[in-house]
Amino acid sequence: MVKAETSTLVRSSPEQLFNFIAVDFFDNYPRWSPEVIELETLSDGPIRIGTLGRQVRVDHGRRTESTFHVIAFDPAERIEFEGLTAPYFIRYRLEPLDRTTRLHFTFELRRLEFFMRPFERLIRHAVTEGAGRIVSNIKQLVEHNGRLQP
């Protein structure tokens, strides 16, 4: 398993941050993760436990497509996703603090395909780097009114 965990402080209430990350996930996810070139919801209604989605990503030149679903949705606290066609798990957890919120992000690649095992060290590095970039991008977007700063 390849796992990355990181966190950052965001000048936002937990409710505002949760709305940006979870409630408006299908609008905002490509903004903080520009590797996402296609994203669609496969379920009707607002996002909730059981909501299905499909994404196409291009990471380091490698195109992948996966279907995922929401496995936890606790307003102002956490949202979790699990890959259905790929072995990954993602958690965004919010910890309220005085005038800020600590955003905790976890990504797990639960299984490496046999042909990828020789590249495990590079994959681990890319996953760790990507996790840091995600929390940084979310922080910038939320704190700077929806604009990523260069």
Q: What is the pLDDT of residues 18-53, one digit of tens each?
A: 999 999 999 999 999 999 999 999 999 999 999 999
- CATH of residue 98: 3.30.530.20
Which residue is it, tokens 């780097």?
A: 129
Q: What is the pLDDT of residues 93-107, one digit of tens each?
A: 999 998 899 999 999
pTM for the whole structure: 0.88
What's the token pair of residue 37?
A: 């070139």
In this structure, what token pair is assigned to residue 130?
A: 């990507």
Residue 150 lies in a domain: no
User: SS3 for 13?
Assistant: coil
> What's the total number of domains in the chain?
1
Q: Where are the alpha helices (DSSP H) in the chain?
A: 14-18, 25-32, 120-143
Containing structural domain, residue 18: 2-143
Q: Which two tokens stand for residue 66?
A: 């996966």
